[in-house]
Amino acid sequence: MLNWFSRPKYASAERRDVPAGLWTKCPRCAALVYRKELERNFRVCPRCAYHHRLSAADRLAMVLDPGSFVEHDEGLVPEDPLEFVDEKPYLARVDQAQRQTGLPEAIVTGTGAVEGRQVVVGAMEFGFLGGSMGAVVGEKVARSAERAAELRWPLALFSASGGARMQEGALSLLQMAKTSVALGRLSDAGVPALSVLCDPTTGGVAASFAFQGDIIIAEPGALIGFAGRRVIEQTIRQKLPEGFQTAEFLLEHGLIDAIVPRGDLRPTLGRLLRLCGAPMAPGPSESLQATPLGVLSTDGRSA
């Protein structure tokens, strides 16, 4: 009698295990995307064009000319003047974020070049406590604006943040005024600022320097706004329209200047810097190494 429950001989062969992390599931279209293919495509889903979040290092490596980046103010690290404790001490959270991201804070700032044009640049790291803005983030943005004014180079800021950092209380809220004043002084000096809004750009960052650029660009589908949708609906007791607080909604209502897909961002910034009169960068420095995707070059850095 045939044993219907017996496995065929070919099933007894050893099954090859697929290494973990080779595939990524797209949160929009649910397609499984080969991770290396996703990285080659600037972490944009090749099926539905969903823009996955980028680290600060990957973003800088994507837009800046290889070997042009020099980091500034990397020695600034958070302190805990309020001795804040929730489920764990604030500095324990900072230490964990530093180990997870390899960064001292939620923003990387410096100078570099885009298509041969010099620029002062800052990129926020959402993976560091939600890209929240505390005293150090505000200080680095302000110093970047001051550096741009001194050098007469345009400033480009890439925002990705959940807002002000609650563990620093009123000190974090003061950074909204501090960064706004710094961007205002840069404007008074006649030096342009370019703002790129990434997913998400919300809270105190959206309410301060992120929307003070002379030209404001957003990535497709980015969540942009101040308070959350539910908070707004409960406050005004009205249902918000579909797509509210997306980059597309903001463009339709004239709050941003353009939506630029990630693959077009570098040439777009290059054209804008040329139109802004950004100076040409010198030839490659022997002290700087080419910057591959996701790796920051810090040789020859200055503070």
d(CA 180, CA 186): 10
d(CA 234, CA 135): 31
For residue 73 the two structure tokens come to 């103010």
pLDDT in tens, 128-158: 999 999 999 999 999 999 999 999 999 999 9
pLDDT in tens, 247-295: 999 999 999 999 999 999 999 999 999 999 999 998 754 333 434 434 4
Task: Sketch out the chain's domains with CATH numbers.
Answer: 18-52 (no CATH), 53-275 (3.90.226.10)
Write down the mean pLDDT value for the chain.
89
Q: Is the pLDDT of residue 241 over 70?
A: yes
Q: Is the peptide bond before 46 cis (omega within 30 degrees of 0)?
A: no
192-227 core/surface letters (b: 16 or more CB in 10 A; e: else): bbbbbbbbbbbbbbbbbbbbbbbbbbbbbbbbbbbb
**pTM, entire model:** 0.86
